[in-house]
Structure 1
Amino acid sequence: MELNGSFQNRMSELLGDGFKAYMDSFDEESVKAFHLNLSVISADAFSKWESCLDDIDYSKIPDSPYGFYYKSEQIGRTPAHHSGMIYSQDPSAMAVLSCVGLEKDESPRILDLCAAPGGKTSQLAIASAGKGVVVANEPNPSRNQILCSNIERMGFGNVLVTKSEPAELASVFPSYFDLILTDVPCSGEGMFRKYPESVNEWSEENIRNCVSRSKEILENAVSMLRPGGRLIFSTCTYAPEENEQTCRMLTEDLGLIYDKAPEYTLKHALYSELSGGKGYRFYPHLFKGEGQFVSYFKKPGESRTCATGNDIGLKKASSEILKQIDNCFGGMPDINISRIFIYKDRVIYLADGIDRLPAKGITMVGVNIGKQDGKNFTPHHHVFSALGRKLPTYVELGTDRSLMEAYLRGEEIRLTDALKDNSKLKDKCFGAVLFAGVPVGGFKYAGGKLKNHYPKGLRNLR
C-alpha cells in the first residue's frame, strides 16, 4: 500500500518515535471481531453452544464485556449471525462504547446521529436493555436500508430509525436526549488498512470539508441534548483538525464540559491533548484493531423534559386488526396491546419509551408486526426476531446444526419426535423458530408441517 506523502508527514509529526511501528502495522492483516447481543444471550450461555459459530475460531477480547476476535470470511452464514446473536464490528469501533453505562432505573433516550451500518446502534440498544428509545439516524438511503436490516436481524424493539438531516431532527427533539453518539463522517484515516481503496480519497481539502460538516452535525446534536445529558464524539481518523480541534469547539463554542472516560478507554487508548482539545486515540500498532478517536462530554445543568403523551400521533389498532393478529398467531403475543398502532400500511408495536415521532423521515419504528391482507394478517419477519419468545407458539431447535442449516436454506422443518411434543401448534398459525433459545425467524404450521417463512433474501442458498 502506498500512502500519500503529506499524510505520512502528518502521522510522523503526530506519533514521533511511534511512527515506524504504525507504518509496520500495515504489513499485518486487518483484525476482525464481533460483539454479542446481550439482549438475547449472555456471554456464559454463548460459550456453551459450540455450534453457534460452526467451525469458526474465536477468542475473547481482553476486558471487553461482549467482544470477540475471529478469523473467517463466512461468519455471515452462521446461525449466530442469522439469529442476531452477534454483530461483526471492528474492535476499535466497538471499544468506543464497550463499557458505556446507563442508569438501571431510567428509561433512557438515546440518539445515534450518524448510525449506519448499525454496529454502535446495536451497542446502544443493548445498553438500553430494551427500555426507553434509541433513535438511529442515517440520511443516506442505501446505508439507511442496511441499518434497518441490521436492527431487524438483531431483534431490537425500542429503536426508531430515521433518514433526516440533523437540523430536521433537532426541530423535533429539542433538549430531549440523555445520551447522544456522534460518530461523524470523517476522512477515514484509521481505516486505510481495512479499506486500502480509501487511501486514494485522502486529501487535506477533504479534511477541511469533514470539519465543516461535523460542526453542523454537532451544533444540532448539542441542541438535542438535555441539560445533564452526555455526548460521545468519535471518528475513525487521526487528523487533529477533525478530532481535538473539534473537541475544543464543543467546549469553547457549544458549552459542553468534558466527562470521565470509561475504564476500558482509559486502559486501552492513548490519551491525547492537542490544539486545545482532549480525547483518546486507538492506533493499530497499540491496540488490536483499526484507528479510532473518541472523547466524552456532558452538558451543564440537570433537567429532563417529560413526555406529553400526545406526540405519537398514530391510530391505535382496531379490534378487527387485533382479532386478525390473534388468529394469525393462534393467540395474542405477550405484549401490551394498547401499544399496537397503525403506521402507514404496517401494524407496529411501540415500546413504552417511544413517546415522540417525527412527522416525516421515519423508515422503521418499533416492531413491524405485519399488515392486513384482506381478512387475513401477514406477519413480518421482525415480529419473529423481536417478539419470538412472546408469541403463543415457538419451536426450539436447540443447537441441532442440521436442522438449523436446513431452515436457513429455506427448507421445511422436520417434525422430529421432540417437536411433536409441542402441543401449542395450531393449524394455519404462525410461530417463531428459536436457535439456542434465540429467535431466528418464523414458520407456519399447516397440514402437519412447519412451513419455512424465513425471508428468501436472507437465506443461505449456496
Structure 2
Amino acid sequence: MPFPTPFIQRMQQQLGNDFAAFEQALHTDAPVSIRLNPFKWKEIPPLEPVPWASGAFYLPERPAFTPDPLFHAGAYYVQEASSMFLEQAIRQHLPGREAVIALDLCGAPGGKSTHLTSILPPESLLVSNEVIKSRTNILAENIQKWGSPCNVVSQNDPRDFSRLPRFFDLVVVDAPCSGEGLFRRDPTAANEWSDANVKLCSERQRRILADIWDSLKPGGLLVYSTCTYSPQENEENLTWLRHHYQAEVLPLEVEESWGISEAEIEGVKGYRFYPHKSRGEGFFMAVVRKTAEEGSTERVGGKNKGGKKKKAVFSEAPKAIQNLLQEWVQSSDAWEYVQHNEQLSVLPGRWMPEIEALYQNLRISYAGTPLAEIKQKNLNPLPSLALSTILRPEAHAVVEVDLETAQRFLRREDVLPDGAPEGWVLLQYRGLGLGWIKRIKHRANNYWPKEWRIRMELNPASYQPVI
C-alpha cells in the first residue's frame, strides 16, 4: 500500500539512515498482544511477555477473539503493546502513593482505562470519559467486563471538566491524532492523512490540553500520548504547554533492549515507538507534572451555578435491600449501597462526595458496580454484578458451563444447562462469572445484554483457546 508522499518525505528527514528499515517495517504484519486482568486471571500463559508492562503478552498470530468466552468475561484485554507503556509512567511517578482520583479523558474503547484500573494504587477512583455517545457505550461495556467497583464512566467534552477545578491527581490524555502510527494495520488512516489534518489535530490537541489543565491538581501528573510520529502533534504541543502553563516534563527510565527512542525539543522529553525498533505500533508518550506553585493542592469538589447546593444524586438503599445486597458481594465496610432511580449500586464510600460532584457537574453513564434493578418490587441482578471482581458466587445459584453453552449464551440464545435450579442462576465459564439466566419451570430467560451479544456464527469444534 502506498503512503502519502509528504508523510514519506517528512519521515525521511526525521529518521535519516533509519528510514529504509522503518519503511520496510510498515509493510509487515502488526504484532498482536493481550493484557491479563490481574483480578480475574492468575495463570501465566506460555507466551512472550511485553517487556514494559506486567501481565502482558504477544500472541504468535491474531486469533478470533469473539468466540472466546474468557474475552467476554474480562479475563484479558486485546491491546496494542506500545500503548501499554503507560504503565511505566504510573510505576515510576506514582510509586507507593495513596489512592488517587484519575481521569482517562479520551477513554474509548477502554484499553488504557482497564490498564489503569489494574495498576493504580489500591482503592483509587478512575473516571473514564468519552465524548462520543456510541463510543461511550463501548467503553462502559469494557469497563464493566473488567469488573472493578471503583470506576466512573462519563460522556463529556474536555471543556466540561472545567467545572471540577483541582479535582484529579492524574489525567491521561490519549489525544485524537492523525493516526500515522496505525498506517500498517489501518489503510483508512493512511487514505485520510494530509498535512492539513496534522495541523488540525495539533490545534485540537492544544485545545484539549488547555481545557483539562485546570481540573488537574497542582503537583498532579498529566500523561500525554498519541499514535502518531508527527512532532507537531507531540513534542511541539508539550513545548507549547510548558510555555503557557506551569508544567514540568518528567523523564522515564527506559531499558535499552525495549527499542524505545527518546526525543527532545527545547528540553521537552518524549518517548517514541517506531515499528522497526520496538515490537509495537507507532506511539508517543510524555509525562508532565503540574507545578505546585500554581495554587493550593487541596481538592475542589466542583462548582455549582449560583452557589446553590444541589440535591443529592443518590439515596441510601432501604435497609432490607442493603442486607440482601451485602450478601451478594464480598463484605467490606468500604462500600455504600445506594439507589439512583430504579437502579441499585455499590460505590466506594471514601469517594462518595467526589462521585456526587461528578454526577452534579458531568454526564455520567454509571458509577461503581450496578448490582440490580427494581422491577415490580423484585430485584433483578444486573450483568455488571456477574462480571464484578467483588461478586460472591456462593451467594447465588451457580452453574459451570462448557464452551458450547457459553457461546450460545453469549449469542443470547436460550440455554438451560443441567443442574440449573428455579430462579436466578449465575453462569460461570472456567471459574469466571459470565452472566445470568432465570429458570422458569422448563425454560430459562437469557439476561446477557442485547447490545453485547455475539452476532457471528460460531463453531465450537474449530475454537482455539487464547489463554
Please report how far the alpha carbon of residue 74 of structure 1 lies from its aligned counterpart in structure 2 after TM superposition. Answer: 0.9
Rounded Cα–Cα distance in structure 2 between residues aligned with 1:39 and 1:14: 42
Please report how far the alpha carbon of residue 235 of structure 1 lies from its aligned counterpart in structure 2 after TM superposition. Answer: 0.6
Q: Does 1:125 align with 2:125?
A: no
Which position in structure 2 is the counterpart of 1:319? Answer: 318
- AA matched with 2:380: T
Unpaired runs of 5+ in structure 2? Answer: 303-308, 458-467
Which position in structure 1 is the counterpart of 2:146? Answer: 154
Q: 1:195 to 1:308 in 2, by over 3 A?
A: closer
Q: 1:333 aligns with which of 311, 318, 329?
A: 329
Q: Structure 1, residues 299-351: CA drift from partner, whole Å, max 9, x if none?
A: 2229643587998922324427717x83xx89543456961222344222212
Q: Secondary structure at the match of 1:96?
A: helix
**Equivalence map 1:277-426=2 (5 Å):** 277-301=268-292, 304-305=297-298, 313-319=312-318, 322=321, 326=324, 331-335=327-331, 339-352=336-349, 353-356=351-354, 357-359=358-360, 360-386=362-388, 389-390=391-392, 392-393=395-396, 395=398, 397=400, 400-402=402-404, 404-409=406-411, 410-412=413-415, 414-415=417-418
Contact kept, 8 Å, 1:169 with 1:358, in 2: the verdict is no
Q: Does 1:254 align with 2:210?
A: no
Please report how far the alpha carbon of residue 252 of structure 1 lies from its aligned counterpart in structure 2 after TM superposition. Answer: 2.0
Q: Structure 1, residues 267-289: CA drift from partner, whole Å, max 9, x if none?
A: 44100113653211001111111
Which position in structure 2 is the counterpart of 1:88? Answer: 78
Please report how far the alpha carbon of residue 218 of structure 1 lies from its aligned counterpart in structure 2 after TM superposition. Answer: 0.9
- AA matched with 2:118: I
Rounded Cα–Cα distance in structure 2 between residues aligned with 1:372 and 1:5: 59
Contact kept, 8 Å, 1:99 with 1:264, in 2: the verdict is no
Q: 1:458 to 1:139 in 2, by over 3 A?
A: closer
Contact kept, 8 Å, 1:256 with 1:299, in 2: the verdict is yes
The alignment's TM-score, normalised by the length of structure 1, stands at: 0.85
Q: Structure 1, residues 122-161: CA drift from partner, whole Å, max 9, x if none?
A: 1111113661210111111121111111112222221111
- AA matched with 2:247: L
Rounded Cα–Cα distance in structure 2 between residues aligned with 1:283 and 1:291: 5
Rounded Cα–Cα distance in structure 2 between residues aligned with 1:232 and 1:157: 24
Q: 1:442 to 1:272 in 2, by over 3 A?
A: same
Rounded Cα–Cα distance in structure 2 between residues aligned with 1:225 and 1:266: 34
Please report how far the alpha carbon of residue 94 of structure 1 lies from its aligned counterpart in structure 2 after TM superposition. Answer: 1.9
Q: Does 1:436 align with 2:430?
A: yes
- AA matched with 2:24: D
Please report how far the alpha carbon of residue 373 of structure 1 lies from its aligned counterpart in structure 2 after TM superposition. Answer: 1.1
User: Which moves more between the two structures, 343-352 or 223-232?
Assistant: 343-352
Q: 2:215 aligns with which of 218, 224, 234?
A: 224
Contact kept, 8 Å, 2:97 with 2:121, in 1: the verdict is no
Q: Does 1:24 align with 2:52?
A: no
CA-atom RMSD in angstroms: 3.1
Q: 1:434 to 1:103 in 2, by over 3 A?
A: farther
Q: 2:136 aligns with which of 144, 164, 185?
A: 144
Contact kept, 8 Å, 2:369 with 2:388, in 1: the verdict is yes
Which position in structure 1 is the counterpart of 2:177? Answer: 186
**Equivalence map 1:206-245=2 (5 Å):** 206-245=197-236
Q: 1:321 to 1:455 in 2, by over 3 A?
A: farther
User: Which moves more between the two structures, 385-394 or 357-366?
Assistant: 385-394
Rounded Cα–Cα distance in structure 1 between residues aligned with 2:129 and 2:172: 11
Which position in structure 2 is the counterpart of 1:202? Answer: 193
- AA matched with 1:414: P
Q: Does 1:97 align with 2:99?
A: no
How many residue pairs match? The answer is 437
Contact kept, 8 Å, 2:100 with 2:121, in 1: the verdict is no
Rounded Cα–Cα distance in structure 2 between residues aligned with 1:311 and 1:78: 45
Contact kept, 8 Å, 1:132 with 1:351, in 2: the verdict is no
**Equivalence map 1:44-59=2 (5 Å):** 45-47=43-45, 59=48
**Equivalence map 1:65-80=2 (5 Å):** 65-70=54-59, 71-80=61-70
- AA matched with 1:62: P
Rounded Cα–Cα distance in structure 2 between residues aligned with 1:131 and 1:267: 31
- AA matched with 2:210: E
Contact kept, 8 Å, 1:347 with 1:368, in 2: the verdict is yes
- AA matched with 1:358: Y
Contact kept, 8 Å, 1:340 with 1:348, in 2: the verdict is yes
Q: Secondary structure at the match of 1:289?
A: coil
Q: Secondary structure at the match of 1:386?
A: coil
Rounded Cα–Cα distance in structure 2 between residues aligned with 1:105 and 1:449: 51
Rounded Cα–Cα distance in structure 2 between residues aligned with 1:321 and 1:129: 33
Contact kept, 8 Å, 1:395 with 1:431, in 2: the verdict is yes
Q: 1:344 to 1:116 in 2, by over 3 A?
A: same
Q: Secondary structure at the match of 2:166?
A: coil
Q: 1:103 to 1:97 in 2, by over 3 A?
A: closer
Unpaired runs of 5+ in structure 1? Answer: 49-57, 420-424
Q: Secondary structure at the match of 1:358?
A: helix
Rounded Cα–Cα distance in structure 2 between residues aligned with 1:322 and 1:14: 63
Q: 1:396 to 1:94 in 2, by over 3 A?
A: farther
The alignment's TM-score, normalised by the length of structure 2, stands at: 0.84
Q: 1:145 to 1:330 in 2, by over 3 A?
A: closer
Identity of aligned residues (%): 27
Q: Structure 1, residues 389-423: CA drift from partner, whole Å, max 9, x if none?
A: 3351253638x54554454454535336xx8xxxx
